[in-house]
Amino acid sequence: MASVGLIGLGAMGTALGEALLRQGHNLFVWNRSAGKAASLIASGAQLAETPMQVVSSTDLTIICLVDCAAVTHVLDGVVGLAGRTVVNLTNGTPEQARGIADAVALADGRYLDGGIMAIPPIIGTPHALVLYSGDEAAYRSHRNTLEALGTAEFLGADAGLASLLDLSLLAGMYGLFSGVIQATVMAKAGNVPARQFSKLLTAWLQAMLLSVDDISARLDDHRFGQATSPLAMQLVAMENILSTSRQMGIDPGLIEPMARRIRQRVQRGGGADDISAIGDEISSSGSAVAAQ
């Protein structure tokens, strides 16, 4: 089993370290607060004194810190990366990922950026999806090791791609959670316990997930007309959600932006359009007039 370096031992870094140790890897770890290494050391990891010591002890170093500013700070002064691969699994922007890729390349290293689509307890299981992009040869060299963390998916050579899709998937999640919270607070205001309402809500959202493919195809094709549920009809329901929430003392702020965009599209003559037309409203390449 290969030696692996791990920088960052927060909740996620510790879970990554445990998964690597379970697979039998030699693990070199470093964390700003050394105390957080205790449990991994008890399981067999070795503590390095500096990030440079981690990187120079292994061919593959995984970094998982709070943000990319911390990654840049930690990598500052790390040199001589020839033959070594740095995998950054810290949440960041595509621009930050490309900047760190350039810095690693300047030090002669190979770089992979990654997005972890999982929470710590499922790291090391197939349910944990980790997206990678950047140096494909480095990915192929270390794929077996990276699969110890979860299902690995390589997206392409642009180091920024993994973080773009990570952030896109998180945007989908936050949209879903906004709706779940708004819906549940409304039901509770009518004295329906959240646990009881969740059965209805889950079944409804599962049915609505069937729309994702159609919305995607419409956005790809820029085809927004001939809707089965036209926006003019949806606007009535949307306004009713807003007014009912307000009457019950609930702030409709989580859902208001969507209502505003639907209203805007209808006012522009897009009342017959499908909900996917909202993508046209928010996109910089969107048309100023409703598509038919």
Residue nearest to ligand FVH (CB): 10
- Binder of ligand FVH out of 23, 57, 72, 120 (CB under 6 A): 120
CA 243 to chain centre: 33
CA–CA dist 289, 268 (Å, integer) = 6
- Report the half-sphere exposure of 32 (CA within 13 A, side-chain side): 10
Residue 163 found at the interface with ligand FVH (CB under 6 A): no
Judged by CB under 6 A, the stretch of 27-35, 52-60, 95-103, 253-261 that binds ligand FVH is 27-35
Judged by CB under 6 A, the stretch of 8-16, 177-185, 232-240, 266-274 that binds ligand FVH is 8-16
Q: 256-289 in b/e burial notation, b at 16+ Cβ within 10 A? A: eebbebbeebbeeebbbbbbbbbbbbeeeeeeee
CA–CA dist 16, 284 (Å, integer) = 38
Side chain identity at residue 4, one-letter code: V
Residue 33 found at the interface with ligand FVH (CB under 6 A): yes
Judged by CB under 6 A, the stretch of 29-37, 136-144, 226-234, 263-271 that binds ligand FVH is 29-37
Residue 100 found at the interface with ligand FVH (CB under 6 A): no
Binding residues for ligand FVH, total number by CB under 6 A: 21
Q: How far is the CB of 4 from ligand FVH (least distance, A)?
A: 16
Rg (Cα) of the chain, in Å, rounded?
Answer: 23
Among left, alpha and beta (phi > 0; psi -120 to 50; other), residue 155 is: alpha
Q: Are 148 and 25 in contact (CB under 8 A)?
A: yes
Nearer to ligand FVH, 63 or 275 (CB): 63
The 3-class SS string of 151-195 reads EEEECCCCCCHHHHHHHHHHHHHHHHHHHHHHHHHHHHHCCCCHH
Count of residues making up the chain: 292
Nearer to ligand FVH, 48 or 241 (CB): 48
Q: How far is the CB of 33 from ligand FVH (least distance, A)?
A: 3
- Binder of ligand FVH out of 4, 9, 130, 159 (CB under 6 A): 9
Residue 123 found at the interface with ligand FVH (CB under 6 A): no
CA–CA dist 128, 202 (Å, integer) = 22
Q: How far is the CB of 5 from ligand FVH (least distance, A)?
A: 14
Residue 11 found at the interface with ligand FVH (CB under 6 A): yes
CA–CA dist 259, 274 (Å, integer) = 14
- Binder of ligand FVH out of 40, 74, 146, 275 (CB under 6 A): 74
Judged by CB under 6 A, the stretch of 6-14, 171-179, 183-191, 232-240 that binds ligand FVH is 6-14
Residue 155 found at the interface with ligand FVH (CB under 6 A): no
Binding positions for ligand FVH, rule: CB under 6 A? 8-13, 31-33, 36, 64-66, 70, 73-74, 90-91, 116, 119-120
